[in-house]
Amino acid sequence: MSDATDKRPRRRTLLLIVTGMVLGFIVVYAANAGIVYTSTDVFCDKFCHVHPHATASWIKSTHYTTKSGVVTHCIECHLPAGGIEYYTEKARLGAQDVWGVLTKDPKKIDWEAKGSLEEAGTFTYESSCVRCHSILFSAKLTKKGSDAHLYYQRMKDKVRCINCHLSVGHYHEKKPEEYLETKDDVFDPKNFPTAAEGFTNYTEVLPGSDVKFEMVALPGGTFTMGSPDSEEYRKPDEGPQRQVQLSQFWIGRTEVRWKEWEVFYAQRGSPGKNDPSYSEESTTTGPTPPYGSPDQGWGRGARPAITMTHHSATVYCQWLSSVTGKKYRLPTEAEWEYACRSKTETPYFFPGDPADFTLDSFWNRVFGAKKLPLSQFAAYAGGGSARTQTPSFVKPNPFNLINTIGNVREFCLDWYEPQAYAKYPSTSAVLNPRGPESGEEHVVRGGSFKSDAIYLRSAARDRTQTERWLMTDPQSPKSVWWYSDCNDVGFRVVREYEPPR
């Protein structure tokens, strides 16, 4: 008896251990099989991600159709290369995907925005790129590539592989890279600058082309610049409010479009920094050829010109003045706000509350934000636009100007200074202010196709960020003509009124 009672617990223990081991093995095996299975391309494609176009564009990409026949699978880019991070990221993205599949309508997801650099960066891993691409200086690397990779080595924490190689995993339908071409023969004596008599709206014809753009005559007046303390989403730099008096001026009805920019580029584009004739000091030197497609592959024509620097835009205005004989320049910040407000003093130039439109609130993100009438007046982030739009996409403001608050942010003439308004008199109206005398960055106004509704408010201020907007540019010195990392800023021109003598 004593023997039996002794042995039973021992047997039980043994049985428990064996069962435990078997169970453990099954669990580990199942978990592993689960992880492996949920990491297959088929699983990614069929069960979770409802985006057949992602599979189609991947198959067309250089990571599928390779010379050697080696296929790079979904998770090889979209999960980290290894380590504990692989599992934590798999859990994070997996949870996100499950939530997405259960709660979202794939047709309503903005897939194009998901392919933008900002979003792609949250589910594409640097460690995965360099796991396979361990040699940055391959035998066939070009001179341009060498320079870019040397720069990357220095800037590893700030510049990622996909900054330059965004479309290698998923093919982007893009026209073959057409560079803006420099032509010498665009001058056509048939076209003359439009006569500028009196103070009325007029259509400007760019000399030497059939490209026209509309200029709107704005009467002078006094308005309140900035937003009141009570305005929701207001930032401190939007005040204190000041009375500003402006003389009459003309302003472009639309942002400067690619077709206008192309005439400028054709006449003033310079062959490149290495050309002996190139000089940044010379007043007849214009932009160098851009690095890649400045239009982001979205097309040019009537879309606003983008990615040019503030300096480029300034030179454009100088060129425009010289070929038309009129005084064109960038708008001052006061002129810009006056034109945008169109005599209104509310957050927008139409009745509406930013709190209803913003996606910067949990409530709106879950239950949906209001779109109308904002989306009628502006291309912005919540309005279903992941790229720049042509002017016909929206309705004008009361001054008949298109897309002041949306589409692209716009350069102003002034230097940016958070406390700029405080320096204007508080008791009387300041006449035609031009901002601080010097500064580091320039004012940028209005929102863009990337901006949330709160940044589309008439008083919202912003500024250029030269260092950040040139982060990926591998050249030394960096371009003064094109931003490498900013694709949502453009500009419109104003013309000063000179009374007849």
Partner 1 sequence: MNELDVTRRNFMGAAAVAGAGVLLAGCSSKKTVEPTKFLDAAPDGPVLKAGLVGCGGRGTGAVQNFLKAGPNLQIVALADVFQDQLDKCRRRLEGRPEAKITDETCFVGFDAYKKLIDSGVDIVILATPPHFRPLHFEAAVEAKKHVFMEKPVAVDPVGARQIMASGEKAKAYNLSVVAGTQRRHQRQYIETYNHIKNGAIGEIVAARAYWCQGQLWYRERQKEWSDMEAMLRDWVNWTWLSGDHIVEQHVHNVDVCNWFIGAYPVKASGFGGRMRRVTGDQYDFFSVDYTYENGVHTASYCRQIDGCWNSVSEYVVNRGFHQL
Binding site for partner 1 (CB under 8 A): 135-139, 141, 143, 146-147, 149-150, 153, 476
**Comparison of 26 and 135: residue with beta carbon closer to partner 1:** 135
384: phi > 0 → left, psi -120 to 50 → alpha, else beta; which? left
Q: Which is nearer to partner 1, 149 or 409 (CB)?
A: 149
Query: Rounded to the nearest whole angstrom, what is the least distance from the CB of residue 145 to partner 1 in the complex?
Result: 9
CA distance 61 to 49: 18
State the nearest-atom distance from the C-beta of 137 to partner 1, in Å. Answer: 4
Least distance CB 478 / partner 1 (angstroms): 13
Comparison of 2 and 476: residue with beta carbon closer to partner 1? 476
* Secondary structure class of 239 (helix, strand, coil): coil
DSSP notation for 151-169: HHHHTTTT--HHHH-TTSS
CB 244 within 8 A of CB 433: yes
Tell me the CA distances in angstroms from 284 to 207, 253, 268, one per residue in order: 16, 27, 7
**CB 433, CB 424: distance < 8 Å:** yes
- 2 vs 134, beta carbon nearer partner 1: 134
Distance CA 69, CA 57 (A): 17
Beta carbons within 8 Å of 28's beta carbon, 6+ residues apart: none
Nearer of residues 392 and 476 to partner 1, judged by Cβ = 476
Rounded-to-integer distance, Cα 384 and Cα 364, Å: 15
Amino acid making up residue 384: G
Residue 485 tokens, joined: 């990392």
Nearer to partner 1, 159 or 180 (CB): 159
- Please, what is the minimum distance in Å from the beta carbon of residue 161 to partner 1? 16
Per this entry, what is the length of the chain?
A: 501
Q: Which is nearer to partner 1, 147 or 214 (CB)?
A: 147
CA distance 399 to 246: 15
CB of 473 to partner 1, least distance (A): 14
Q: Please state the closest distance from residue 149 (CB atom) to partner 1, in A.
A: 7
